[in-house]
Amino acid sequence: MKNYAELWIGYGERQTGRDCINLRKFYLSGAGESDKIVKNAVRELKTGLKAMLDIDPGIVFGSCAETAPVNNGRDIQDREEYTVSLCDDGMAIDAKSGAGILYGVFDVLRSVSCEKDIKEAYASGKTVRPSNPLRMLNHWDNMDGSIERGYSGESFFYVNDEIVIDERTVDYARMIASVGINAVVINNVNVKQAASYMITDRYFDKLSELGEIFAGYGIRLFLSLNYASTIEIGGLDSADPLDEKVIAWWKTKMAEVFERIPTLGGFLVKADSEGRPGPFTYGRTQADGANMLADIAKEYNAIIIWRCFVYNCKQDWRDRKTDRARAGYDNFMPMDGDYHDNVILQIKNGPMDFQIREPISPLLGGLKKTNQMLEVQIAQEYTGHQIDVCYLIPEFKEILGFKTYCSDDKDTVADIISGDTFESRYSGIAAVTNTGNDFNWTGNYLAGANLFGFGRLAFDTDLSSEEIAEEFVRMTISQDEAVVRTIVDILLPSREIYERYTSPLGIGWMVTPATHYGCSVDGYEYDRWGTYHRADHLGIGVDRTDKGTGYALLYNEPNASVYNDPDKCPDELVLFFHHLPYTHKLHSGKTVIQHIYDTHFEGYEEAQQLAEKWKSLKGKVSDEIFENVSERFERQLSNAREWCDQVNSYFFRKSGIPDEKGRQIY
């Protein structure tokens, strides 16, 4: 027995498919049997089919493409594409690389695992080309084993400043490769202490071993980099990106790093953000910093992913001119076109910080001459800490589908990050991951749907939230139709329910400072973080219109005009863009205050209904899963109740306006 769950690669026994002739022989073409990814693919196929159906398939190798060198660029999608089709005595997986074959194998295993009719599923051949070149997970794991914003135990990569490589490491690679992840950053973007030494001899051997394991599953290893390495580990007195000594140090360093870790894809950098060092200290731009590193990394075919989460975190709450929402745009937009071609800017989905509802960052659709990557967060920092169930795939679908109007066609976020809109050399999507060393990897079993779902969606943006949820439940929890239905019905509305009992109408925050779990309406109101709701006895919201901070105007038309006008702005974002009286009527016909009361009472009630649904599964799912999720639901309900009562009481006390429906407010 392993000391962790195998989730969707557990390959428990299945009933359907045993007599399917097509599963008895596989013709693989695209890479040869000596390719190490192909070896892993074949092992996976054999293990999976044996365990699920007691079938030992024959393997026939067909034509073999040339193995191209490691590359993070656009053409990667050509090599990762696969086609699965039926033949008389088996089935064929055609690709142009080992990775393509591996993804084809996982497609077949998924179908078997979901008890699909194989003949039907592949009747006309199925070709899938990944929607995004880079499909990444960002770990915020620290080398002491703690995880920043981790809610699933400690890191499985590090113990006491050492890198741990064991069976779990390999199963992790299998698990994420199975949903299409092809790149992983294994350390926190806040690079401090031991992590600064990742690029030294101290860790090279382990990193090289890890990189090889990942490479066997088509995954490229990335590291977060300390921008001030020249000072902190190099003994120089500067990290000025234009300083010759600094440049020379990096040249030597990178030569060493890429020699010792040949599989390394590049680096992720958080600079000039929340106390991390960066080029601003030397009066240089973000582009100066990114380009310096990228020019050196280029020689090794590597990329620099540079985060846009740069803002003033020492704001004065009295100051109404400074608007944190503008910061990313103001810091990065003026240099559009200046970032070198192996730099990617990594942009959080919203302008603030992973709130339950935010508008899309105006950099997405603003930047036109820069490689871009979207950053989302499946670690539930602001969305319930993997205690509250919050299936995030519907939110990600909204983000990807958002029309930025940056061009006549292909203007959605999905188009931009796929690289199609601007034919970008590098692009993709990253998620701050939600894993840890808990038995079930993600704290709450249901939070596994976000890990599974992120990968599936990044690989195939056209999949629906429901299809993904259903696959997750069938592969991980149960095949029983009623159970599948019940859990899918819990997952699908969970994000909107969470939104209803927490902060209203896009304003965000109102969370307990530091932990970010639980309600504290004024927790950040008189603090330095730039995250205010500005409520008084008359109204609430931040004026980000042309009369306020001007943020609304950073969007392309018609989005700018829509957001700038309280009568056009969608309800769910209206307090993000406008300061409004409690009596302001929303499109829904309700006043702001009545909306707050209604949604909070409803949200809490709906959370109770979700918990009831879960209770009905006793005896129908494993005890381990049932108990884990039940215990979380108990905590979710007390959390939801606090949110509901605190928010309602707060706004009743501020506004003095009673609830039309006369419900109990304190």
Q: CA angle at residue 625 from 620 to 630, to 5 degrees?
A: 90
Question: Which of residues 9, 31, 108, 189 is near ligand GCW by CB under 6 A?
Answer: 189
Nearest to 380, CA basis, from 433, 429, 430: 433
> What DSSP character marks residue 147?
B
Question: Which of residues 110, 149, 324, 326 is near ligand GCW by CB under 6 A?
Answer: 149
Task: Assess whether 319 carries a catalytic annotation.
Answer: no
The single-letter code of the amino acid at 71 is N
Q: Is 503:509 a contact under the CB 8 Å cutoff?
A: yes
DSSP 359-387: PPPTTTTT-SSS-EEEEEE-S-TTTTTTT
Provide the mask over 233-272, with x wherever binding to ligand GCW is found by CB under 6 A and - wherever it is not. -------------------------------------x--
Q: Which helix (H) or strand (E) holds 87?
A: strand 82-87
Question: Both ends of the chain: CA-CA distance in Å?
Answer: 51
Comparing CB distances to ligand GCW, the nearer of 71 and 190 is 190
Provide the mask over 598-637, with x wherever binding to ligand GCW is found by CB under 6 A and - wherever it is not. ----------------------------------------
Closest distance of CB 579 from ligand GCW, Å: 25
**Angstrom distance (rounded) from CA 298 to CA 294:** 6
Comparing CB distances to ligand GCW, the nearer of 180 and 436 is 436
Q: Is 502:515 a contact under the CB 8 Å cutoff?
A: no
Strand spans (E) along 219-351: 220-225, 264-269, 303-307, 343-348
Comparing CB distances to ligand GCW, the nearer of 326 and 348 is 348
**Angstrom distance (rounded) from CA 189 to CA 62:** 43
Q: Given 75, 89, 259, 274, which residue is catalytic? A: 274
Q: Given 35, 44, 171, 353, which residue is catalytic? A: 353
Contact status: 148 vs ligand GCW (CB under 6 A): yes
Comparing CB distances to ligand GCW, the nearer of 16 and 146 is 146
Q: Which residue is nearest to ligand GCW (CB)?
A: 353
Closest distance of CB 260 from ligand GCW, Å: 27
Q: Is 192:204 a contact under the CB 8 Å cutoff?
A: no
Q: Is 656 exposed, middle or buried (0-12, 13-18, 19+ CB in 10 A)?
A: exposed
Task: Assess whether 353 carries a catalytic annotation.
Answer: yes
**Angstrom distance (rounded) from CA 247 to CA 31:** 40
Closest distance of CB 470 from ligand GCW, Å: 31
Closest distance of CB 155 from ligand GCW, Å: 14
Q: Is 365:411 a contact under the CB 8 Å cutoff?
A: yes
**Angstrom distance (rounded) from CA 7 to CA 328:** 37
Contact status: 357 vs ligand GCW (CB under 6 A): no
Closest distance of CB 95 from ligand GCW, Å: 35
Comparing CB distances to ligand GCW, the nearer of 216 and 359 is 359
Closest distance of CB 224 from ligand GCW, Å: 9
Q: Is 73:425 a contact under the CB 8 Å cutoff?
A: yes
Question: What sign does the CA torsion over 65, 66, 67, 71 have?
Answer: negative
Residue with tokens 């939110």: 395
Q: Given 381, 499, 543, 598, which residue is catalytic? A: 381
Q: Is 343:306 a contact under the CB 8 Å cutoff?
A: yes
Comparing CB distances to ligand GCW, the nearer of 142 and 594 is 142
Question: Which of residues 26, 157, 309, 422 is near ligand GCW by CB under 6 A?
Answer: 309
Beta strand 90-95 pairing with 82-87: antiparallel
Q: Is 639:387 a contact under the CB 8 Å cutoff?
A: yes
**Angstrom distance (rounded) from CA 384 to CA 66:** 47
Instruction: Report residue 380 as tokens.
Output: 């539930």
Task: Assess whether 209 carries a catalytic annotation.
Answer: no
Comparing CB distances to ligand GCW, the nearer of 307 and 584 is 307
Question: Which of residues 140, 156, 249, 459 is near ligand GCW by CB under 6 A?
Answer: 140
Provide the mask over 374-393, with x wherever binding to ligand GCW is found by CB under 6 A and - wherever it is not. -------x------------
Comparing CB distances to ligand GCW, the nearer of 149 and 544 is 149
Provide the mask over 92-131, with x wherever binding to ligand GCW is found by CB under 6 A and - wherever it is not. ----------------------------------------
Q: Is 365:413 a contact under the CB 8 Å cutoff?
A: yes
DSSP 500-550: HHSS-TT----BPTTT--SB-TTTTTTSSSS------SSEE----STTTT-
Closest distance of CB 84 from ligand GCW, Å: 38
Instruction: Report residue 38 as tokens.
Output: 């192909």
Contact status: 139 vs ligand GCW (CB under 6 A): no
Helices and strands per DSSP (H, E), number in the chain: 20, 17
Closest distance of CB 503 from ligand GCW, Å: 15
Coil, helix or strand for 303? strand
Closest distance of CB 353 from ligand GCW, Å: 5
Comparing CB distances to ligand GCW, the nearer of 142 and 476 is 142
Question: Which of residues 67, 71, 77, 190 is near ligand GCW by CB under 6 A?
Answer: 190
Closest distance of CB 274 from ligand GCW, Å: 6
Comparing CB distances to ligand GCW, the nearer of 328 and 362 is 328
305 forms bridges with which residues in the sheet?
A: 268, 344
Comparing CB distances to ligand GCW, the nearer of 404 and 531 is 531
Gyration radius of the chain over CA positions: 25
Question: What sign does the CA torsion over 643, 647, 650, 656 have?
Answer: negative
Closest distance of CB 642 from ligand GCW, Å: 21
Q: Which helix (H) or strand (E) holds 121?
A: helix 118-121
Size of the residue set binding ligand GCW (CB under 6 A):
11
Q: What angle, rounded to 10 degrees, do the helices at 98-113 and 36-53 form?
A: 10
Closest distance of CB 355 from ligand GCW, Å: 10
Comparing CB distances to ligand GCW, the nearer of 237 and 274 is 274
**80-91 residues labelled b (16+ CB within 10 A) or e (exposed):** bbbbbbbeeebb
Question: Which of residues 44, 80, 353, 496 is near ligand GCW by CB under 6 A?
Answer: 353
**Angstrom distance (rounded) from CA 481 to CA 471:** 12
What amino acid positions are annotated as catalytic residues? 274, 353, 381
Residues that bind ligand GCW (CB under 6 A): 140, 148-149, 189-190, 270, 274, 309, 353-354, 381
